[in-house]
Structure formats: C-alpha cells, structure tokens
Chain A
Amino acid sequence: MTETNFHSPTLSVRSVCKTFAGLKAVDGVSFSLNPGERVALLGHNGAGKTTLFKIVLGFLKRDGGDVSVLGSAPGSHAARAGTAYLPESVAFPGSLTGREVLTFYARLKGESPAAALPLLDRVGLADAVKRRVGTYSKGMRQRLGLAQALIGRPKLILLDEPTTGLDPISRQNVYELIGEIAGQGTTVLLSSHALTELEARTDRILILSRGKLVADDILSRLRAQAGLPIRLKVWTRPEDVAHVSECLGGGRMNGRSVEFDCNADDKIQRLSAISALGGLVEDVDVHAPSLDDVYRHFSNAANRES
C-alpha cells in the first residue's frame, strides 16, 4: 500500500451523518477508497455498517456530509452503473433457477447474460444452475448473490457480510474471488463479523463503533497503535514450572506451562531467552494479537470515550 495514488478515489465519504429518531446511526464518518483496494468494514451489530452502505448506494439520504461514488452522486445512474451490491440477507424468488436469476440481473445491468453465466462456475454453483433457487442452501444463495455482484466488472463492489452462512472452504473461495477482482482494479468494501478470517485478505481495515469511525489503517499499523502484547506460552514438565518461570522473570504458572506477555519489540529477545533454557522447554506457543483483539481494543476505546 502506497500513500501516493494517481487515480481518483473510487469512493469518497466526507463527514457523513445520519440520525434515526434521535439515534446517531452514522456520525461524522470520513474515508476514501482507491481502485483495487480490498477494505474491510468492521463493527458490532447496529454500528452503522448497513446504514453506511445504503447511504453510499443512495437508498438513504444523509443528514450531512458528502459522498462521491466514482465521481458522481450516490444513487445516480452513473454511480449505480459502476457499483454492485450484495445485501446482508437475500431471498431470491424461489421458483426461478440460478441461471434465470443471474440472467435477470445481467439484463438489468445491461450486460450480456451469456457473458455473465460463467460467473456461476466461478462461485461454485456449476452443478446447480438449473435447480430452483428455493432448493438452495443458505451458502448457495449467498454465492448466487455474489455472482450477481460480479456481473459486468463493476468498479466498486459493496458486500454486506458476504461470508455468513458459508463453510470454511467456500469462505476461502470467496476471498480468493475478492482478491482476483481487486487485482483487476475493482475496489471491494466488505463488512464482516468473522474477523480472524479477514487477516491477510484485506488491504485496509475500517472500524465503526456506534456510528463513529474509530480506526482506518492497515492491520499491522492498527496492531502497533493498539500496542497489544504478544502472549508467549512455554510448555515444560510439571516439576520444572517454577524454575522456568523464575528464569523468564515471572509469569502465570499453569500446571505444565508458563504464560507471559511481551511487547512486539521484545519478542525476539524473549524467544532467545526461552531457547537458552534448552531441554527444560518442551514447546512454545506465540500468540500475536488477532484481529479480534485489535478490534476489541478499538471498539472498547471508543465506548469508553462516549
């Protein structure tokens, strides 16, 4: 990720506000997304993710601020022509087949249905194209929705929790697809609850908490900002636990293991101290703070402020 970008942003959101019956659903949110970026929008239930999506799509009017989608107003013909959207939960007409649903959306988007149909293979629905959508599992419906969003190479794709209801392998396929289309220059903004699976699959992370944007950066920098400790767990024989703990300068003893936290800067030093113990150590676990931990940190920090 370089900070200098010669393209104009695909999506730019500046101090957008939206209030529902006195509740600030979106409160002064600003960010901008560049071509080819994969960005994850994280937030608890009701944090304002879907509201933000609907504002960007032009379905909801913002109370304040500016939104520009591909240089046009949200909801305008030009903006919609270059944008694709997958809502959080979709129920396609059950009596139509997967192929008919995809053909329908291809026509609405002004694309040739014949060119769109291979997308069903890409999302792994090749065997189900002629089956009625009513017989699809939740994961299959989700993948059909994803295929719909990929029709005609949009410049901006908004995916509202695209991996809910998918098994681990399908999730992986979804992220592979997202990587592929981002490689072709499409900006992908996806919201998710499944945080850990986003690691290494997104370029940037936005964290929304109670309508406010509390973080906007790449994961490693968010980690550094959060300053969360790395947890080391050293496994040893029960009789050596006390000795090991002493050598490593304290830490919680746990029957057969010793646990302690260290900063990212000290990690190597601590690990060499552990290896110096030689035969006393049976195994070492290094637990870097996961995206869940980072997310919790930023989300809690925002809650304490308010």
Chain B
Amino acid sequence: MFSRILTIAGQEIRIGIRNRWILLAAIILAVFSLALALLGSAPAGTLGVDRLTITVASLASLSVYLVPLIALLLAFDAICGEVERGTLLMTLSCPISRFEFLIGKALGHSLVLSFALVVGYGLTAGLLVAAGSGSLDGLVDFGRLIVTSILLGICFLSVGYVLSALTRQSRTAAASAIAAWLFLVVLYDLALLGALVANPSSVFAADVFPYAILLNPADAFRLFNLAALGASDLVGGMAGVAETLPFDPMLALGSLAAFAGLALAGSALLVRRIAP
C-alpha cells in the first residue's frame, strides 16, 4: 500500500519538477515575501518589535491569498485531467485502490507545496537573520507560519480534488477552482466585513462573526497566526478581532485541521464514484 502511495506521490513531484511548477511557486513566494520583508517592515525598528515577527505578520496575510491559489492550481487537474487523458483508466487497471491513488496525489502535491513554502519563505527568513535583524522567537514565528501554510494548502488541495472529481473537463475544473478561490479568500471576507460595518453592535458581531471566521480555512489560518504572534495591535485590520474572540485561538488551528480532514474525506468519497 505504502509503496503504491509513494509511487503516485513521487510521480507528482517529478512532474512538478519537470514542468517547473515547484520552481515557479518557490520563486513567487520568495519574491513576494522578500518584497514584504524589505519594504513593508521598514518602520519596525521604531516599534521595538522583532523584524522577523513583523514580517511574519505581513506574510500571514500574503499566504492567505497565495497559498490557496497555488494549492488549487496544483489540484484542479488531478482527477478530471487524468480522466480526460485516459491515464486514469490505465492507472486504476493496476492493483491500486482509489483511496491510495488520492492519498498519493495529496501527499505529492503537499510535498511540492511544502518545498515551495520552505524555500520561498525560508529564503526571506535567512536573509533577515543574515542581516542581523532576527531572533530565535522570530524564527519560531516563521516556522509556525510555514507549517500552518502547509495545512492551509492541504485544505485547498482537498477543495481542488473535490472540484476535480465533480467535473468532467479540466477547463470546467479550472474555472470552478478560481471561483472557489475568489469566494473563500476574497468575497467571504468582504461579505463578513460588510455585515459587520452595517450593524456593529448587533448579535451578528458578537455571536455569528467569530464563528463565521472560524469556518473559513483562510480566515482561521490568519486568525491563528496573528493571535499567536501577539502582535495584532501592531498589524491592525482584521487581526484586531483576535483579542475579543469568545474562544481560544487554538480552536482556529483545530478548525483548519478539521476542514482539511473533511474535505479530503469528501474527495475520497467522490473519487470512489468516478467512472474513468
């Protein structure tokens, strides 16, 4: 079983290397994070906060947009693309179960994403440390950011697999992946903020809003990271809610993990029904 899962995962990684997906994702993450670190954290010195930490705060917001996008782009083609090309017929005629196939794909894509995150963000962290503006605490913050980004990535990889298993054509899957990204990452927040601004002191703000944030993996990710930094007062914006939350921020991490698990289980169920 494990050798078959590793075979599928290995193939995904190899394809990721060959068509330069890994390289591209790592470069994008490195460029954006470097830009944020070098330009965005200029005033950090006057605030007396570790420059690494303040960079992590900006990177958490960056991850919310970039990581889901990269994950969806990796995953949308995973099932319907193989159906379209006829390779799924051949792969599934081998003695491999559909579950093993899906887990192999997820493992391969997660490793591709992890590599890009570790290299991209690691480069930024390394440069900051080399420039003498980093501490051990800052590095811990960086490590937490990378690990939770991987978890966020797995959430969106799973969303991608669900969409890929539901559609018959890779073009449709690509369009629905973009729609999912737009909804979960952009529109969901806008809608929540809009509702909050419209009635700031209602039941919504106290009882619905915090849990609505918890349900969306992108928001849960940001919430957990900013709360863990303890720097929310510095960052402002949505992070301000972290202090007034009716629950422990660890719950956000749990929600992230639960979302990943449920979405992956959902895609595993859908893959069982596929007629390749």
Contact = CB atoms under 8 A, between A and B. Distances in A.
Interface of A: 54, 57, 59-60, 77, 80-81, 83-93, 95-96, 100, 104-105, 107-110, 145, 148
Given A95-B19, A96-B15, A100-B14, A108 B96 contact: yes
Contacts of B14: 96, 100
B6 to A, nearest CB: 8
Most buried by B among A105, A108, A110, A148: A108
Number of chain B interface residues as a range: 20 to 34
B275 interface: yes
B136 interface: no
Contacts of A54: 89, 275
Q: From DSSP, what is the main secondary structure of chain A's interface residues?
A: mixed
Contact of A90 (B11, B90, B95, B97): B90
A177 B46 CA distance: 77
B18 A105 contact: no
B11 A85 contact: no
A80 B95 contact: yes
Secondary structure call for the B interface? helix
Given A93-B15, A108-B7, A77 B95 contact: yes
B90 to A, nearest CB: 6
Interface in B1-47: 3-4, 7-8, 10-11, 14-15, 18-19
Contacts of B15: 93, 95-96
B261 interface: no
Contacts, number: 70
B86 A59 contact: no
A80 B93 CA distance: 6
Contacts of A93: 11, 15, 87
A105 B95 contact: no
A139 to B, nearest CB: 16
B275 A87 contact: no
16 contacts: A54-B89, A60-B275, A77-B97, A80-B94, A85-B90, A88-B86, A90-B85, A92-B87, A95-B19, A104-B7, A104-B10, A105-B90, A107-B4, A108-B4, A108-B94, A108-B95
